[in-house]
Amino acid sequence: MNLTPYKLGDICRMKYGKMPPSNVVADEGYPIFSGYRITGCAKEYLYDEPRVIVVARGVGGTGDVKMSPEKSWITNLSIVLDHDEGIVDKKFLLYRLGREPLKEKLNTGAAQAQITIDSLSAYSITLPPVEAQRRIACIITAYDDLIENNRRRIQLLEQAARLLYKEWFVHLRFPGHEHTQIIDGVPEGWEKKPLSEIADITMGQSPKSIYYNNDGNGLPFHQGVTNFGVRFPSHETYCTVQSRIGEPSDILFSVRAPVGRINITPDKIVIGRGLAAIRSNCNQQNYLFYALKSHFFKEDMIGGGAIFAAITKKDLYGVELMQPTDRIVAMFMEHVLPIDLQIANLQQTIERLAKARDLLLPKLMNGEVAV
C-alpha cells in the first residue's frame, strides 16, 4: 500500500474552539465539549457535525484526539480540524492522529502542557489513498460500535440498579414498608451513620512525578478522574512507589472537582491526592456503591444540594448515609449482585475488543494487513 506524507496544515484548516458566553450556557441543551469530556450544556451549538479535535491544553488530556458530539459547542481547550475530504477520511484521521505522540512532540507549554495551531500544522503524517482509508476506518469503526454498544448496556444496567436503590432507600418503598414505622424520615431499625463508621477510607497522596511512567512499571496510578469510565477506570500511567493503595473492588471517589465522581477499580492501584478509596467494613460493598451514587447525585453536589470544589477528609468521613437493617441490605444485594456481575462481564468484553482493535489498527495503517 502506497503511503504519502502530508503536513497536517496542508490537509486540514484549523482553529481554536471558543468559550461559550454566559448567556449561552444552560442547564440543558447542546453539549459543551472541552476535548476530554462534556462539561455542560449550551442553548446554541458551534458545529452541526462531529469534528476531529486535538486537545490543546487541559487536565491531563493535552494531545488527545477525539471526535466531538454532533451539534456541540467546542471550547478553546481544543483545536478543531476541518479536513480536506479529497485527501483524508474523517474517521481515518481520528484513528491515525490518535496513534501519534502529539503531547510529547508538540508541547510548547512550560508550567502546563500546550499544543498550538502552528506546531500542529507543521506536524507530518503518512496517508494511504483515501479509498483505502475509508475501508480501514470501516473495519475499526465496527470494533468501536461494539464497544459503545456494551458501554450503553452498562449504563442501562446501572440505571436499573440505581432506580431500585431510589425506590427502596429514598422513597422508602422497600419490602415490608407498609408495616414499618417511620420516624423523622428514618424507618424503624434503620439509622443514619457517618461514612467513617461503615467504611474504611484511604485518602490518596501523590508520589513525586519522577516515579511515574507509561511503560507499565509498578502499579497503575490514578490521581483524578481523567481515565474514569462508565464504571471502571482504564490504566494509562503507572507508579513504581506504592504509597496510598486502592485494592481491587474499592470504590474510587473524586475529592476534587468534579467532587463525587465514582468508579470501581478492578485492580490494585496507587491513588493520588484527587481520589479516595472506599471499602465497606461490613461486606456491603455493592450497597455502598449505590448509596454513594445516590448521595452524590450530580458531580460537585451532595445529597443536600451543596456544591463543592473539593471535599476534605473530615467532610468525607462525616458524610451521612442511610444504613438499613442487614436483612433489607441483603435483599437489595440479591437483586443487584447479578446486575453488577453482568456489568463486570461487559467491561471485560470491552477490554478484549479494545485490545483486538489496538493490535489490528497499526497493521492496517502500515499495510501489513491488506484491505
Q: Is residue 165 part of a domain?
A: no
* Whether the Cβ atoms of residue 228 and residue 61 lie closer than 8 Å to each other: no
Return left, alpha or beta for 29; rule: phi > 0 is left, psi -120 to 50 is alpha, else beta: left
Cell numbers 487541559: residue: 58
Gyration radius (Cα) of the chain, Å: 23
What the block records as the C-alpha cell of 75 is 471550547
Domain boundary among 75, 99, 127: 127
For the chain, the domain total comes to 2
CATH of the domain at 64: 3.90.220.20
Is 62 within a domain? Answer: yes
Reading the chain (371 residues) residue by residue, the pLDDT tens digits are 789 999 999 999 999 999 999 999 998 999 999 877 788 899 999 999 999 999 998 655 789 999 999 999 999 999 999 999 999 999 999 999 999 999 888 887 666 778 999 999 999 999 999 999 999 999 999 999 999 999 999 999 999 999 999 999 999 999 999 999 999 999 999 999 999 999 999 999 999 999 999 899 999 999 999 889 889 999 989 999 998 999 999 999 999 878 899 999 999 999 999 999 999 999 999 999 999 999 987 665 665 556 567 889 999 999 999 999 999 999 999 999 999 999 999 999 999 999 999 999 999 988 888 88
Q: What pTM was computed for the model?
A: 0.83
The DSSP-derived string for 271-283 is: E-TTEEEEEETTS
Tell me whether residue 71 is in a domain: yes
The parent domain of residue 109 ranges over 4-127
Q: Which residue in 298, 149, 39 sits closest to 30, CA to CA?
A: 39
49 in any annotated domain: yes
> In the structure grid, which three cell numbers stand for residue 240, read together?
513504581
